[in-house]
Structure 1
Amino acid sequence: MILTDDQGYGDLSCHGNPWLRTPELDRLHGDSVRLTDFHVDPMCAPTRAALLTGRYSARTGVWSTLRGRYIMNRDETTMAEVFAASGYATGMFGKWHLGDSWPYRPFDRGFQESLSFGGGVVGEIPDHWDNDYFHAVYERNGVPERFDDRYCTDVWFDEATAFIERNQGRSFFCYIPTNAPHNPFNVADRYSDPYLAMDVPEKRAKFYGMIACIDERVGRLRRRLGELGIARDTIVIFMGDNGTSGGADIDRRGFLKDGYNAGMRGRKCWAFEGGHRNSCFIHWPNGELQGGRDVDALSAHIDLFPTLVSLCELQKPNLEFDGRDLMDLLTGGKQDHDDDRVLVVHNQQKDNPVKLKDFEVMTRRWRLAQTNDWGPGDLELFDQQADPGQERNLLLGEPDVADQLQTEYEAWWQHVGGRFEDVSPIFIGGEQNPVPITCHAWHGEKGLYNQWHVRPGLVDNGWWPLEVVTAGIYEFELRRWPRDANAAICATLPPRRNVPFVDDFVPGEALAIRMARIRVGNAELEASVKQDEVRKTFRFTLPQGTTRLETFLTDADGVVRGAYYVYVTKVTS
């Protein structure tokens, strides 16, 4: 299962892109059964949660890419767990973005082997310091491992190929969620130069180059499956996680200004079609999923888990899926479509979900879209079959349809919203010790997420929910810089090595921090900070159960920031 990051439906030459060349993915498209009305979430972490659970992402606790709302509820069951229980070897290589500490990591959630990085982008705050796409420290089942002079996409496919080679004699589930072509748009010149030669703008040329690299690696992987003699009995799935980020520029109403978007309105983050319609190619020769056949039924990421349970004859999990088993549609055993099916997507990016924010209700014919943060702010109704570009608002002309779809939204909101008040806590005193905690998981209304927010010392704060697994004495280590930067709280840091189109990797700004304060539950401690101290450490005796953590670093001007990094160690029982 190959899941690319920020590659939209139009970012393939087989879908009509006039610049991009994707010969290997075009070949897979030509060989596969294609879901042509296939939808994901408008942003990445929610798509990953929905894909791996077969449930609407909001039900799993994931409706954002930051503020701790990317951490998937502990009680969810993943596709990997069901494959493993059915005797499959399971491995994932690439972007996880569903939690960075126990029990949320990929190898805690059914993947026997994993190689990944912190956060949602190489170089985000939970990631190893100064990681980039060519030089990085990744984590193999939680153990840091350095990869120098190797491009991220090559690492993921090399590791996935090695995993397949080790397990070629048994059933395996290999999940390859690439971080490319998500920005920063950083790729070897040999991939982007052909697009620069076509006068494609430089950022888009790099974006296309990152897709060209993925395309090359997909072809190599498929050829290796053939060399191993297992290609005919291996299901290969290719899909994207949201609308395009770099392939199209749009105006404030979501219409195309420049680039290519397959005639769709909106892009990544938007509730319109271009924000969430994506590719889904499924190829399995021995299962008769081949031949370049289209299935135009309304479908979504949540359908793949129940479909794979049937296709692979897995042990039937006792799970409440939101998705549907599409096996009969894929194999041709069912010709009629479920015309009454309703799907809903939304984009929150909030700590607490807001009703009626940036959503689209979909049937096979109709789309009801409300835009707020992303778009003109109107409620619009479209006949999708007659108006795939979503140009003509029929809200006033079809009031009964609009009312019906609004009723469907209300029912969906009730269905997914039962646990909106819950938070996924950070567990301490459990199987991982110490536990790194970062401001990426702060709950609050602003939210920091990238290392370029830490370097200039942006002012922000939030709180973390904690679950104390076992009672005892805990040490809390407050830092402005992460451990692997090994720098004093007040110190500056040199600029990061050049990454294209990222101008914010300035030298880390020196902060005149004078006081550190910490609050755990109702207990509070503080201490002065010396110029050369790299950390301030506090100890608390904590009972088992839930609590709340807040930190405060006050500078000489009285400005208060939270500690960007906290390390929690259970010292003794």
Structure 2
Amino acid sequence: MPKAPNVVFVITDDQGYGDIGCHGNPHLNTPHLDRLASQSAQLDDHHHDPLCSPSRAALLTGQYAARNGVWHVIQGRHLLHPDAVTAAECFANSGYRTGMFGKWHLGDNYPFAPHYRGFDETLCHRGGGVGELPDYWGNNYFDDVYFRDGSPMQCAGYCTDVFFAAAQDFISRHSHQPFFVYLSTNAMHSPFIAPQRYAAPYRELEMPEKRANFYGMIANFDENMGRLLEHLHALELDENTIVLFTSDHGTAAGWDAAANSGYNAGMRGIKGSVYEGGHRVNCFWRWQGTIPAGRKLPGPTAHIDVLPTLLDLCGLESDRPFDGISLKNLLLGADCNLPHRSLVLQLQPDTPQKWHHCVVLNERWRLINGSELTDIGSDPAQQRDVAAAHTQIVADLRSDYEAWWQSLQNVFASTIAVPVGTRHENPVLLSARDWHPTSGRVPWLQAALDDPAYDSNGWWLVDISRAGSYRIELRAHPREADRAMQASTARLQVGEKTIEKPVLVGDTAVAFRLDLPIGEVKLQTWLTDAAGGRERGTYYVYAEKLGK
């Protein structure tokens, strides 16, 4: 009996549809991605949400991200609901070995982190990018400390090289059994840092420094992709491995509309936008000998279709309902007729708002924020609002959105708590990146912590899993940084309990001990610097259950 096909799912960060040579970019050289495209079927009208976490949640569950509690990239709204079934769990339950390498961005604590979500092996940074608050202090893309199955591990080399090498090692060790690899690079996310030899050719073109580094990151990724494909070939896995390549959303630095600089394949909008350039992405499917290559396939298709399609191609089943559909027949060339449907893409704040930053799309129309209508067929640059001339189309798309919104009302009214005191993870690290904000701008980069512009605050919702004594340690920087707190008093509030302590000169932490009952409760902290007049929350909290 032939071995079930392997799956290598590669996703980049912040690389738009136009950030690849074969899509007409006149500046960018991507020979290995171009070759992969020629060997693949391309979903050429394929769409993801306009920012990271929602796209990833939908890709890995086959459901709209908001259905599983994910509608933002910070503020605790990126935590994938514990009941959501991931692609890794589907494959693991069918006898596959599963590995995840790179960026997760769906929660770093139990039960959200990838080593709790069906992956046998993981090597990843924390947060939404290298150098963000939850990540190991001081990571800067070179010789960083990443997390192997949840434990810190010193690595050597450039981030993208490290994650590709780990994935190839995993493939080598499991080449004789079915495997599922989720290789999710932090590149090309900011900060835009590339080894100099990759960025130098683009500097010579006198493009902006940011874009030269961005393209350098893509060039490095392209080289790694070539090595990965050669590795599969050397192991004679070409014809029994599905290689899926995509990105999470539109470009971050390949196009500057204000300066009319760069390349965006003629589309309007970039990362974060609900215009086409923010959500239309590359999506290549290669299965040599099975998926006919060299075709650009119609759409629209979306992130919610990816998992149903992978499972169908591999002959696997899931008892979970999907929002997406299987594209197996489309990819195999059996049927190019997709059902007529409307897709909803969006990005929400902490408290969702109807019609906020959304697009409802089908094969012809794009309804933006509930009111602006563009015809993508006749106006691919989305320069003309034709809503007044097509009122029935607007009404129909609004009705589709209303039905989608109504199906998510209960989820939008809820908040996912971070478990504290479990036997799976103790202590638990909470970072300000996950605050539900009460004031100011939520900090998400380590580099922002000394900037008074980020003197802000917010609360975490925690779920005390075991009643008893807890040690709550407040810090302005994580333990490995060991930096003194610039404050005179520290205050902790857990539910109705409030405790305050002085901060002495040179203190790196202030710890509180208190008894807590089982249940969900809000936790908030304050640091006050009487001399400097600053007040803010503590950016890091370590919560530990004491005793048995």
TM range (shorter): over 0.9
Deviation for aligned residue 1:199: 2.0
Deviation readout 1:143-164 (Å, 9 max, x if unpaired)? 111124x000000100000000
- The residue that corresponds to 1:508 in the other structure is none
Is contact 1:427–1:467 with CA below 8 Å preserved after alignment?
A: yes
Any conservation in 1 of the 2:292–2:332 contact (CA below 8 Å)? no
SS at match of 1:282: strand
CA–CA distance in 2 between the matches of 1:276 and 1:336? 22
- Using the TM superposition, give the Cα deviation of residue 189 of structure 1 relative to its aligned residue in structure 2, in angstroms: 1.4
Q: 1:120-135 residue pairs with structure 2 within 5 A?
A: 120-135=128-143
Q: What's the CA shift for 1:423?
A: 1.3
Partner residue of 1:451? 446
Superposed, 1:373-384 pairs within 5 Å as 379-384=371-376
Equivalence for 1:305? 307
Equivalent residues, number = 535
Distance apart, 1:455 and its partner CA:
2.4
2:425 corresponds in structure 1 to 432
Where 2:312 maps in the other structure, the secondary structure is: helix
Measure how far apart 1:63 and its partner are: 1.0
Residue deviations 1:384-403, cap 9 Å, x none? Answer: 11111111211111111111
Q: Say if 2:224 is the partner of 1:217.
A: yes
Residue 411 of structure 1 corresponds to 403
Matched AA of 1:84: A
- Secondary structure (helix, strand or coil) at the match of 1:3 reads strand
Matched AA of 2:332: T
Q: 1:198-277, aligned counterparts within 5 Å?
A: 198-251=205-258, 257-277=260-280
Counterpart CA distance in 2 for 1:42 and 1:250 is 17
Contact 2:298/2:336 (CA < 8 Å) preserved in 1? no
Q: CA deviation at 1:369?
A: 1.1
1:83 matched residue in structure 2: 91
RMSD: 1.2
2:282 corresponds to which of 276, 279, 303: 279
- What is the alpha-carbon distance in structure 2 between the residues aligned to residue 417 and residue 128 of structure 1? 36
Please say which of residues 453-462 and 215-224 is displaced more in the overlay.
Answer: 453-462
CA–CA distance in structure 2, aligned partners of residues 291 and 481 of structure 1: 51
1:102 and 1:398 map into 2 onto residues whose CA distance is 49
* Structure 1 counterpart of 2:81: 73
Residues 12-411 of structure 1: matches in 2 within 5 Å? 12-148=20-156, 150-251=157-258, 257-286=260-289, 288-314=290-316, 316-338=317-339, 340-348=340-348, 350-370=349-369, 379-411=371-403
What's 1:461 paired with?
457
Counterpart residue identity of residue 372, structure 2: E
CA contact (8 A) 2:12 2:186 kept: yes
Question: Displacement, 1:135?
Answer: 2.8
Query: 2:383, 2:507 → 1: CA distance?
Result: 59
Q: Distance in 2 between matches of 1:262 and 1:515?
A: 54
| Corresponding residue for residue 492 of structure 1 | none
Q: Which aligned segments of 4 or more residues in structure 1 are displaced greater than 4 angstroms?
A: none
TM score, norm. by length of structure 1: 0.92
Q: Distance in 2 between matches of 1:519 and 1:289?
A: 57
CA distance in 2, matches of 1:388, 1:114: 40
**Retained in 1: the 8 A contact 2:63–2:323?**
yes
- Would the aligned equivalents of 2:111 and 2:117 in 1 still touch at CA under 8 Å? yes
Q: Which runs of 5+ in 2 are unaligned?
A: 1-8
Offset, 1:249: 0.6
Kept in 2: contact 1:271–1:346 (CA 8 A): yes
1:559 shift after superposition: 3.2
Name which of structure 1's ranges 553-562 and 84-93 shifts more when overlaid on structure 2.
553-562
CA separation of 1:559/1:201 partners in 2, compared to 1, >3 Å: closer, same or farther? closer
Query: Displacement, 1:456?
Result: 2.8
SS in 2 for 1:245: coil
Match of 2:6 in 1: none
Secondary structure of the structure 2 residue equivalent to 1:307: helix
**Residue 498 (structure 1) aligns with:** none
- What secondary structure sits across from 1:45 in the alignment? helix
CA contact (8 A) 1:56 1:416 kept: no
SS of residue in 1 equivalent to 2:218: helix
CA–CA distance in structure 2, aligned partners of residues 245 and 59 of structure 1: 26
Deviation at 1:517, TM superposition (A): 0.9
**CA separation in 1, counterparts of 2:336 and 2:184?**
32
For residue 547 of structure 2, what is the amino acid of its counterpart?
T
Residue in structure 2 matched with residue 507 of structure 1 by the alignment = none
Answering whether residue 23 of structure 2 is matched by residue 11 of structure 1, we say: no
Equivalent-residue separation in structure 1 for 2:304 and 2:192 (angstroms): 29
User: Cα distance, 1:330 vs. partner?
Assistant: 0.8
Taking structure 2 as the reference length, the TM-score comes to 0.96
Per the TM alignment, residue 296 of structure 1 is displaced from its structure 2 partner at its CA by 0.8
User: Take 2:443 and 2:524, find their aligned partners in 1: how far apart are those partners?
Assistant: 15
Q: What SS is found at the alignment partner of 1:285?
A: coil
Per-residue Cα deviation, 1:59-115 (whole angstroms, up to 9, x for no partner) = 111111111111111111100001000000000100001001111110000111000
Give the Å deviation of 1:370: 2.2
The residue matched to 1:305 in structure 2 has which SS?
helix
CA distance in 2 between counterparts of 1:556 and 1:309 reads 59
**SS of equivalent residue, structure 2 residue 256:** strand
Q: Is the 8 A contact 1:49 1:98 kept in 2?
A: yes
Partner of residue 497, structure 1: none
Please point out which of 413, 416, 441 is paired with 2:434: 441
Q: 2 CA distance for matches of 1:553 and 1:198?
A: 48
Cα contact 2:292–2:333 (8 A) shared by 1: no
User: Please, which runs of 5 or more residues in structure 1 have no aligned partner?
Assistant: 372-378, 490-510
Contact 1:58 1:417 in 2 (8 A): no
Instruction: Output the CA distance in 2 between the equivalents of 1:261 and 1:44.
Output: 19
Q: What is residue 414 of structure 2 aligned with on the other side?
A: 422
- Range moving further from structure 2, 157-166 or 199-208: 199-208
Q: What residue number does 2:5 align with?
A: none
Distance 2:128 2:90 in 1: 24
- Three-state SS of the structure 1 residue aligned to 2:45 is strand
Preserved contact between residue 43 and residue 298 of structure 2 (Cα < 8 Å): yes
1:493-526 CA-partner distances (Å, limit 9, x unpaired): xxxxxxxxxxxxxxxxxx3x11111111111111
Q: What residue in structure 1 maps to residue 496 of structure 2?
A: 522
The code of the aligned residue for 2:217 comes to M
User: 1:484 pairs with 477, 480, 491, which one?
Assistant: 480
Q: What is the aligned partner in structure 2 of residue 472 from structure 1?
A: 468
- 1:379-435 deviation per Cα after TM superposition (whole angstroms, max 9, x unaligned): 321111111111121111111111111111111111233311211211111110111
Deviation track 1:267-324 (CA, whole Å, cap 9, x = no partner) reads: 10001010000010000014x213211211210011011111111112x221121110
